[in-house]
């Protein structure tokens, strides 16, 4: 199959270098060829044979507009071919010709019925989301597969697969929301599949399938009140409980009371090291707490990702396609030494399964719940789920910490620990890869311990102030530090300017 331009030289007609010759777009498929008139002509001397992007040379004074017209026509034919293939039909030359000829009739209608949303959405999933060359993370693809089921259901059951881009407006998006509420989906789930639909909608506009710019996807109907939800992270004493839990370690004979499932680490010189599955999951969770990393990024860390000179980890964040640097601390140092001993720089820090796969996230989440129960992580957590304004089921009932703990708790714990240790938020943001303060602030909340600290405010009133003043702060060094983070792209311009103003106020 091929699409290419050629000069349409009629038989018996002699063309000089200065005579205008019509340009034709040709479609070749399985031994058959058809041609499309382009209404563009060019002189022989200005023809760029074999160039499908700029077939008209720059020597033609109208080359820009001519090439633009030709490229636009070629894109239109390619779209018709794609839509035929999305419909699981063969793009025969006659089929393409007929569809393209009928296209002009469809264009004259007030509403553009050229591209049904469902057909383009199938193409988007196939060519963009499922296309391995786009290098989306496995979790992103899985998430899109899940939400696409809801989108297909809405397009079929509510719009009978006859929704077109120019028809999409606020009322249509309200149908998406109403569907989610009828299904008793949480607001976050509804927001997710609407967000995925918005990404697809913007992509289809960029590809020329529509020019609808009037759609608003945001709705207060599904906005959660974050203040009614506890942020799930570990207090310092809870991290200490996990760190000191010895009875699940392989070296402790008592571990068999809790688990007989093991992971084997293959070392240099054909040596092996064995861990229980609970020991491995506990250590991995603590490593996340010490680095502020996501599960998928942590499990893929190799020994070479640690800079022994600078004493820091260089971590690639798959979700945001960014690299951050996080210094080693006492806890991560002990775990790193435990798992990297007798390994080469190319080895993963943490072992894989016996089948050579990364340890599954879901199994990890199940195991750390059990570990949390062993450590008596019984603090009550309140996280109600709403669908619209309505509470879903009994989710407004408090649960024990160990029941709701998951892999992401490590990232939140790292952020909270940094705040407790009075590390500047923009420094923490640079280590966890956040550029937006709005997103960063969702990762922590005030607890009772934080409220007690407020009693020490305005300590200057007493003879022995409890709160240090800013006189001893090295303003110059702090300005240099945030400038360095900004220059390296670790914080955005808004954060940089905001922190610069705060520091300058200390002068």
Q: What is the mean pLDDT of residues 427-433?
A: 87
Higher pLDDT, 158 or 1: 158
pLDDT, one tens digit per residue, over 257-269 is: 999 999 999 998 8
**Any idea what DSSP says for residue 26?**
E
Range of the domain at 37: 2-107
Asked whether 283 and 245 are in contact (CB, 8 A), the reply is no
| Together in a domain, 433 and 315 | no
Closest alpha carbon to 295 in 317, 279, 311: 317
Tens digit of each residue's pLDDT (9 = 90 or more) over 120-145: 999 999 888 988 676 677 778 888 99
Average pLDDT over residues 354-369: 94
| Main-chain phi, psi angles of 36, to 5 degrees | -120, 130
The answer to the question of residue 93 being in a domain is yes
- Same-domain status, 300 and 375: yes
pLDDT at 470: 41
Buried b (16+ CB within 10 A) or exposed e, 423-443: ebbbbbbbbbbbbebeebeeb
The per-residue pLDDT for 90 is 84
Q: Which of 140-144, 379-383, 494-498 has the highest mean pLDDT?
A: 379-383
Question: Is residue 228 included in any domain, yes or no?
Answer: no
* Any domain includes 231: no
User: What percentage of the chain carries pLDDT values higher than 90?
Assistant: 44
Could you tell me if 347 and 302 are in contact, meaning their C-beta atoms sit under 8 angstroms apart?
Answer: yes
Contact status, residue 293 vs residue 409, Cβ threshold 8 Å: no
Residues 146 and 278 in one domain: no
CATH of the domain at 178: 1.10.150
Mean predicted confidence (pLDDT) in 271-281: 96
User: Is residue 203 located within the same domain as residue 276?
Assistant: no
Model confidence band, residue 467 (pLDDT cutoffs 50, 70, 90): very low
Predicted structure pTM score: 0.64
DSSP bridge pairs for 274: 264
**CATH number of 339's domain:** 1.10.443
The CA-atom distances, in angstroms, between 297 and each of 236, 269, 278 are: 23, 28, 20
Give yes or no for residue 313 having a pLDDT over 90: yes
Mean pLDDT, range 165-175, rounded to an integer: 89
* Residue ending a domain, choose from 359, 390, 413: 413
Together in a domain, 351 and 427: no
Find the mean pLDDT for residues 372-401: 93
DSSP tally for the chain: helices H, then strands E: 18, 12
Q: What is the mean pLDDT of the chain?
A: 84
- Let me know whether 247 and 376 are in one domain: yes
Please say which residue of 61, 82, 107 terminates a domain: 107
For residue 280, give the nearest of 218, 343, 335, 209 by alpha carbon. 335
d(CA 67, CA 72): 8
Which band of pLDDT confidence, cut at 50, 70 and 90, is reported for residue 88?
low
Q: What value does the mean pLDDT take over residues 148-164?
A: 91
Give the tens place of pLDDT for each residue, 399-420: 999 999 999 999 999 988 888 8
Return the pLDDT at 488: 66
What is the edge-to-edge ordering of all strands in the sheet holding 306-307?
306-307, 312-317, 322-327
Which pLDDT score, from 0 to 100, does residue 450 have? 53
What are the phi and psi torsion angles at 324 (to 5°)?
Answer: -125, 165
Work out how many domains the chain is built from and give that number. 4
Confidence at residue 16, expressed as pLDDT on a 0 to 100 scale? 67
| Average of per-residue pLDDT across 76-92 | 79
Which pLDDT belongs to residue 229? 86
Q: Quick check: 383 and 395 in contact, CB under 8 A?
A: yes
Residues 350 and 258 in one domain: yes
Q: Could you tell me if residue 229 is inside a domain?
A: no
Among the listed ranges 86-90, 256-260, 267-271, 364-368, which one has the minimum average pLDDT value? 86-90
- 360 and 489, same domain (yes or no): no
Lowest mean pLDDT among 136-150, 294-308, 346-360: 136-150
Task: Check whether 153 has a pLDDT greater than 70.
Answer: yes
Residue 438's pLDDT band (cuts 50, 70, 90): low
Burial of 115 (0-12, 13-18, 19+ CB in 10 A): buried
If we measure between CA atoms, which residue out of 111, 115, 5, 101 comes closest to residue 53? 5
Asked if 281 and 334 sit in the same domain, the reply is yes
246 and 393 within one domain? yes
Q: What is the mean pLDDT of residues 42-52?
A: 84
pLDDT confidence tier of residue 444, bands split at 50, 70 and 90? low
Q: Using an 8 Å Cβ cutoff, are 377 and 413 in contact?
A: no
Within-domain flag for 187: yes
pLDDT confidence band for 282 (50 / 70 / 90): very high
Q: Compute the residue count for the chain.
A: 507
* pLDDT for position 190: 94
Do 465 and 379 have their domain in common? no
Q: At 6, phi and psi to the nearest 5?
A: -150, 160
- Whether the CB-CB separation of 357 and 403 falls below 8 Å is answered with no
For CA atoms 275, 281, 282, 288, the dihedral sign is positive
Please determine, for residue 14, whether its predicted confidence score (pLDDT) is greater than 70: no
Same domain, 334 and 249: yes
Write the burial class of residue 269 (CB in 10 Å: 0-12 exposed, 13-18 middle, 19+ buried): exposed
- The residue from 48, 81, 107 where one domain ends is 107
State yes or no: pLDDT of 457 exceeds 50. no
Between residues 456 and 24, which one has the greater pLDDT?
24
């Amino acid at each position: 199959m091929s699409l290419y331009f050629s000069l349409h030289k009629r038989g018996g007609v002699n063309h000089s270098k200065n005579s205008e010759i019509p340009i034709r777009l040709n479609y070749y498929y399985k031994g058959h060829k058809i041609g499309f008139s382009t209404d563009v002509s060019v002189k022989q001397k200005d023809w760029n044979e074999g160039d499908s992007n700029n077939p008209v040379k720059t020597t033609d004074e109208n080359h820009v507009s001519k090439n633009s017209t030709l490229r636009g026509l070629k894109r239109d034919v390619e779209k018709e071919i794609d839509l035929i293939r999305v419909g699981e039909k063969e793009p025969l030359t006659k089929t393409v010709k007929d569809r393209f000829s009928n296209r002009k009739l469809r264009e004259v209608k007030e509403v553009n019925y050229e591209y049904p949303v469902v057909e383009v959405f199938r193409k988007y999933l196939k060519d963009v989301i499922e296309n391995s060359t786009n290098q989306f993370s496995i979790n992103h693809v899985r998430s899109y597969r899940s939400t696409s089921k809801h989108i297909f259901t809405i397009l079929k059951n509510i719009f009978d697969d006859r929704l077109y881009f120019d028809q999409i407006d606020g009322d249509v998006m309200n149908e998406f929301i109403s569907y989610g509420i009828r299904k008793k989906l949480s607001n976050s789930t509804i927001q997710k599949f609407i967000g995925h639909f918005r990404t697809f909608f913007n992509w289809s506009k960029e590809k020329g399938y529509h020019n609808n710019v009037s759609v608003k996807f945001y709705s207060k109907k599904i906005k959660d009140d974050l203040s009614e939800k506890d942020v799930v992270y570990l207090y310092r004493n809870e991290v200490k409980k996990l760190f000191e839990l010895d009875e699940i370690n392989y070296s402790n004979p008592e571990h068999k009371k809790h688990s007989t499932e093991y992971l084997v680490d293959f070392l240099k010189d054909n040596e092996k090291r064995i861990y229980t599955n609970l020991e491995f999951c506990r250590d991995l969770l603590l490593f996340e707490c010490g680095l502020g990393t996501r599960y998928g990024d942590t499990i893929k860390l190799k020994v070479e990702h640690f800079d022994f000179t600078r004493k820091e980890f260089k971590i690639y964040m798959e979700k945001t396609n960014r690299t951050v640097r996080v210094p080693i601390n006492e806890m991560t140092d002990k775990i790193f030494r435990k798992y990297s001993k007798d390994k080469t720089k190319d080895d993963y820090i943490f072992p894989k399964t016996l089948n050579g796969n990364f340890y599954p996230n879901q199994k990890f989440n199940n195991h750390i719940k059990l570990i949390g129960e062993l450590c008596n992580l019984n603090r009550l957590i309140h996280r109600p789920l709403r669908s619209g304004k309505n509470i879903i089921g009994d989710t407004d009932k408090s649960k024990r910490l160990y029941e709701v703990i998951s892999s992401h708790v490590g990232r939140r714990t790292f952020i909270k620990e940094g705040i407790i240790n009075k590390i500047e938020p923009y420094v923490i943001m640079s280590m966890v890869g956040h550029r937006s303060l709005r997103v960063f602030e969702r990762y922590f909340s005030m607890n009772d311990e934080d409220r007690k600290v407020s009693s020490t405010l305005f300590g200057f009133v007493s003879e022995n102030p409890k709160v240090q003043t800013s006189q001893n702060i090295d303003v110059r060094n702090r300005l240099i530090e945030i400038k360095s983070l900004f220059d390296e792209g670790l914080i955005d311009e808004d954060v940089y300017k905001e922190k610069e103003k705060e520091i300058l106020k200390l002068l």
